[in-house]
């Protein structure tokens, strides 16, 4: 933590348990990834210190599904046990006003079933508004990474990174799951619709 602080590098701690997460928050961690078993006291400390929670809920769900990045009967049982607990922690964190950003814990291999769009859908199901969920994937994530002055929103002078979806995700968050166009650094990276045709 001290070495990272010398270069102003945010440190993200992967911790399911409360003891390790609390120690990380006290040491100055920028975020806790997972946080499945966080106590009310640790969540309050995170609120006070502006430590982010990155629930990776979609990754826990991955444990319970066939295929994906994590496969095995022990992992499946573990995921089924952890998901309800993670949901309780998420709801408490959201109610407290802990900063929450999206994220997943996998390598996005050919087997990956985790998607940020699915994480956003879980956030809405667990009590966030669609607007808050979109912010968790954009503005909040950029803030977490220390990049909020250059990315995370569509603004003049910001990186031209955005997607086009078939409907308004603020009305139906599931629209994020059907990306029609991806623009990265001002260049079209994916185009699934014909423009300019009548």
CATH of residue 51's domain is: 3.20.20.140
Predicted pLDDT of residue 96? 98
- Residues 133-141: contacts with CB within 8 Å, 24+ apart? 133/102, 133/173, 134/169, 134/170, 134/173, 134/176, 136/100, 136/101, 136/102, 137/101, 137/102, 137/176, 140/52, 140/99, 140/100, 140/101, 140/102, 141/101, 141/102, 141/103
Secondary structure (3-state) at 184? strand
Mention every residue, 6+ apart, whose C-beta is less than 8 A from residue 15: 21, 24, 32, 33, 34, 35
DSSP letters, 24-46, are HHHHT-SEEEE-TT--HHHHHHH
The Cα–Cα gap between 122 and 97 comes to 18
Q: What is the pLDDT of residue 85?
A: 98
Whether residue 146 is contained in a domain is answered as yes
The neighbour count for residue 60, using CB atoms within 10 Å, is 26
Whether 30 maps to a domain, the answer reads: yes
Domain membership of residue 59 (yes or no) is yes
Residue 111 lies in a domain: yes
Asked, for residue 165, whether it belongs to a domain, the answer is: no
Q: Would you call 164 helix, strand, or coil by DSSP? A: strand
pLDDT at 179: 92
Specify if 118 maps to a domain. Answer: yes
Range of the domain at 40: 2-152
Identify the pLDDT of residue 196: 53
pLDDT of residue 195: 61
Residue 193, in any domain of the structure: no
Residue 43 included in any domain: yes
Q: Which residues contact 136 (CB under 8 A, 6 or more apart)?
A: 100, 101, 102, 120, 123, 128
pLDDT score, position 52: 98
Domain count, the chain: 1
Spans of the chain below 50 pLDDT: none
- Check residue 72 and give its pLDDT: 86
pLDDT of 2 reads 87
pLDDT score at 133 = 98
């Amino acid at each position: 933590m001290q070495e990272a602080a010398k270069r102003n590098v945010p440190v993200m701690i992967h911790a399911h348990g409360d003891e390790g997460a609390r120690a990380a928050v006290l040491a100055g961690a920028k975020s806790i990834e997972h946080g499945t078993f966080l106590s009310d006291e640790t969540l309050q400390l995170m609120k006070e210190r502006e430590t982010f929670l990155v629930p990776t809920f979609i990754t826990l769900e991955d444990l319970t599904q066939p295929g994906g990045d994590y496969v095995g009967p022990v992992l499946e049982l573990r995921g089924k046990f952890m998901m309800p607990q993670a949901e309780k922690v998420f709801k408490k964190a959201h109610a407290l006003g802990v900063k929450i950003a999206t994220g997943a814990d996998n390598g996005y291999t050919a087997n990956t079933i985790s998607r940020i769009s699915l994480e956003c859908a879980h956030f809405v199901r667990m009590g966030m508004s669609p607007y808050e969920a979109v912010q968790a994937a954009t503005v909040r994530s950029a803030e977490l990474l220390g990049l909020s002055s250059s990315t995370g929103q569509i603004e003049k002078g910001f990186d031209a990174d955005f997607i086009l979806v078939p409907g308004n995700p603020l009305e139906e968050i599931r629209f994020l799951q059907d990306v029609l166009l991806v623009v990265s650094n001002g260049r079209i990276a994916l185009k699934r619709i014909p423009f300019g045709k009548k």
